[in-house]
Structure 1
């Protein structure tokens, strides 16, 4: 097992390299980068200045005191803007510099926020972790017992009814649930019971400890509801069919023939084997909840976490933030997959990953 763990840890390096390289090439090829945006902003300000100057019988003067008239930016200023964002160097050199910095977890400085990317990630991470952990906990607390119940009562009326509810919940996108909850309960066309946005109130620091807890969960109520409704259907069915498969095996029939009760068979024999496939899916579920589903939830409810940070960075072409958050997301996903494999082995030592 130790050799397998070492091999997987070493494989993280080329995996991160290929993902960063692919996204670096795609992002560099995309139009509308930070240089173009900065030039467009300066030219817009220049054109406004020209309009004002024309009305007063004059022209436009930029911050360097040089009159530009209607000629646009000088070549020297364009080159200065490129140098400001590091685009005065060839792409391979920029990528190599980025790799060297990332090796020591230096993700650079945000183009548009003017703060180190590491500082931004640390600042936003608690919001995403808070939402992700509570969402994951609720989804597993609901999905696993429900999946076991459906497996034990397969074909019953409750099984069919919940199947319809799960199908509806799975079919409707998570952001639709978020919008519906906002309209119904956050000051839309009906009731204003919950806050419209944010994770805590503005006066959070002045509240008592108990009031802080209440305020925190009051703000989380709608985001967690939307995230949970849209996320537990797949896990419920995974649990159900895993248990159904185990219940049909010969060792279960033998256990029942020996006079064991259904409870003894379920928790003494079936549970450990059936939960293996559920455990194997934990990393994918967590990555999906943290970095996909909750990205939309953070945007809808204006929760200032990594998802919203990454979305704003993509819109603004803030490359240091884009690559920094991508690096963290990928690294966390790979480590979670490794943890899943280790847990898989601990639950069933017969599973040997050395042969992989």
Structure 2
């Protein structure tokens, strides 16, 4: 097992470098970098149409002088060749130094950590609610395959899957957020403005009150995939030969389902648990966060791309890719540990 783990860890290195290299190469051809944006800001007018002192000097001199432009490139690290900059970035990432944001003026690691609680709140609630609903519903659909309940529930969950999360979010705001009908839930944020002055119980209730709509908009789209996966896995197990043998021996359907089918059918679901759990920490959805005014990782990623904040783009990509590779390894390990028929060399025992 340890040999397999070491092999997978070593394979992560070229994969991680490849992802970073491809993204870094694409960045080199994207126009409107931080230097160009800074020059553009210097040339713009101030509030109310009155030019600022810096902008006036800038325009009177006909733009930046060559040495000033070079100093600006040095400030952002663009005075070095691309390969050298990529090497310095990899060296920093090896020490888990993600660099400093061009526009937020703080380290990328601190920036990610500051936005993480918002995405975690939505992601973890979505993860747990999805699993708690989908597994019992999928089992019920498999047991009642072809029944009216199966057809009706499939229609409902597929309809929910067809509706984009942000469209559902808009509908929820209109219906329950005071848009046109009822003011039952808040429109923005995870907590109220007076949250610090509330008691512990009131803080919990206030937090739960705020996450109802965004979590609902996130969960509905995930229900269909997990529910149908659970149903199909259980159906496959129910139709296996050992189930017919157990019935011939006189075992009840309940005993067959929970003693034999349940354990075998949960293997694919359990093996996907590590990746889904880790992914829940970084499940920031740009549209959901924007719609409900949640300042999380989804909004941060979008703003960093639009503003060409390359340290944030590369740093967040590095963290997400690394955690994704680790989650994949944990999923494979859990599959081998849960199913004794599979060995670490990729074959069956």
For residue 196 of structure 2, what is the aligned residue in structure 1? 205
1:113 to 100, 104, 111: 104
Residues 123, 353 of structure 1: alpha-carbon distance in 2 compared, 3 angstrom cutoff: same
2:223 to 232, 239, 256: 232
Deviation per CA, 1:134-188: give whole Å up to 9, x if none.
Answer: 1100000001110000000000001000111111111111111112112221121
1:164 to 155, 166, 186: 155
Judge conservation of contact 2:98–2:311 (CA < 8 Å) in 1.
yes
Distance 2:85 2:177 in 1: 46
Root-mean-square deviation (Å): 2.1
Judge conservation of contact 1:32–1:317 (CA < 8 Å) in 2.
yes
Instruction: Name the count of aligned residue pairs.
Output: 346
For residue 115 of structure 2, what is the aligned residue in structure 1? 124
Distance 1:280 1:345 in 2: 9
For residue 215 of structure 1, what is the aligned residue in structure 2? 206
For residue 30 of structure 1, what is the aligned residue in structure 2? 30
Cα distance, 1:205 vs structure 2: 1.2
Deviation per CA, 1:306-332: give whole Å up to 9, x if none.
Answer: 122111111111111111111111111
Residues 301, 214 of structure 1: alpha-carbon distance in 2 compared, 3 angstrom cutoff: same
Residues 320, 67 of structure 1: alpha-carbon distance in 2 compared, 3 angstrom cutoff: closer
Distance 2:287 2:278 in 1: 14
For residue 251 of structure 1, what is the aligned residue in structure 2? 242
2:293 to 298, 302, 306: 302
Distance 1:104 1:69 in 2: 45
Cα distance, 1:39 vs structure 2: 0.9
Distance 2:287 2:186 in 1: 17
Residues 286, 299 of structure 1: alpha-carbon distance in 2 compared, 3 angstrom cutoff: farther
For 1:50-65, list aligned pairs within 5 A: 62=54
For 1:1-356, list aligned pairs within 5 A: 1-45=1-45, 62=54, 68-69=59-60, 71-282=62-273, 285-286=276-277, 291=282, 294-355=285-346
Judge conservation of contact 1:136–1:286 (CA < 8 Å) in 2.
yes
Cα distance, 1:76 vs structure 2: 2.4
SS of the aligned residue for 2:285 comes to: helix
Deviation per CA, 1:61-95: give whole Å up to 9, x if none.
Answer: 537x9574272332222222211111111111111
Judge conservation of contact 2:43–2:58 (CA < 8 Å) in 1.
no
Q: Which runs of 5+ in 2 are unaligned?
A: none
Judge conservation of contact 2:43–2:59 (CA < 8 Å) in 1.
no
Distance 1:293 1:160 in 2: 33
Residues 264, 52 of structure 1: alpha-carbon distance in 2 compared, 3 angstrom cutoff: closer
Cα distance, 1:221 vs structure 2: 0.6
SS of the aligned residue for 1:182 comes to: helix
Residues 88, 253 of structure 1: alpha-carbon distance in 2 compared, 3 angstrom cutoff: same
Distance 2:149 2:286 in 1: 33
Distance 2:286 2:280 in 1: 8
Cα distance, 1:52 vs structure 2: 5.3
SS of the aligned residue for 1:202 comes to: coil
Residues 269, 84 of structure 1: alpha-carbon distance in 2 compared, 3 angstrom cutoff: same
Cα distance, 1:10 vs structure 2: 1.6
Q: Which runs of 5+ in 1 are unaligned?
A: 54-59
Judge conservation of contact 2:123–2:284 (CA < 8 Å) in 1.
no
Deviation per CA, 1:251-271: give whole Å up to 9, x if none.
Answer: 000011111111111111111
